[in-house]
Amino acid sequence: MTPGTPPSDPPPDDALLAEQLLRLTRRVQRIQKRQLATSGIGITPAQSRLLRTLAHCDSPPRMADLAARLEVVPRAVTTLVDGLEEHGMVRRAPDPANRRVIRIELTEQGLAALRELRRARRAAAGDILAPLDAEQREQLGSLLTALFEGDPGLLTERHPRGR
């Protein structure tokens, strides 16, 4: 340090940063859950996650494929699909190449629910990011991108446009 230079802050503790990220994630989830409850869609956060996962698939997946992508047991996917099917948001369809295989398809109602879910996520993000100015948001975006790109498992996730 040279004379007249203010001392720099010590680097943040990684444990503290991890805790802050977890707290922020929980806050986003709470806000989204509130948004979901007020939207009238009538689905659970787990069902919304399944809908988002379906939207990222190139073609209708099998139940086992969904379970693997969601990292849950197949029985859990069956329960989620049952609930979404009751709401008319997904349908079970036989695979044209193998009638024993059932694929899960989004319906128009499911696509409409996804649009509402995106609106709820944007509203939640707006609430959380409100204290930041444009430059801070840009910095945060760059930092989050660096973290995202640093995890090879996240790079394999699909993020299609226009759905």
CA separation for the pair 135, 143 (Å, rounded): 12
Residue 25 is which amino acid? T
pLDDT at 84: 97
Q: How many Cβ atoms are within 10 Å of 52's Cβ, its own excluded?
A: 15
pLDDT at 8: 62
Pick the residue with more confidence: 161 or 54? Answer: 54
> Which residues have C-beta within 8 Å of that of residue 118, sequence separation ≥ 6?
none
pLDDT at 14: 85
pLDDT digit string, tens, across residues 10-63? 566 888 988 998 998 898 888 878 877 777 788 888 899 999 999 999 999 999
pLDDT at 136: 95
Q: Which stretches does DSSP call E strand in 87-131?
A: 90-95, 98-106
Per-residue pLDDT band at 154 (split at 50, 70, 90): low
pLDDT at 30: 85
pLDDT digit string, tens, across residues 78-127? 999 999 999 999 999 999 899 899 999 999 999 999 998 888 888 888 88
CA separation for the pair 104, 92 (Å, rounded): 5
Per-residue pLDDT band at 155 (split at 50, 70, 90): very low
pLDDT at 55: 95
pLDDT at 120: 81
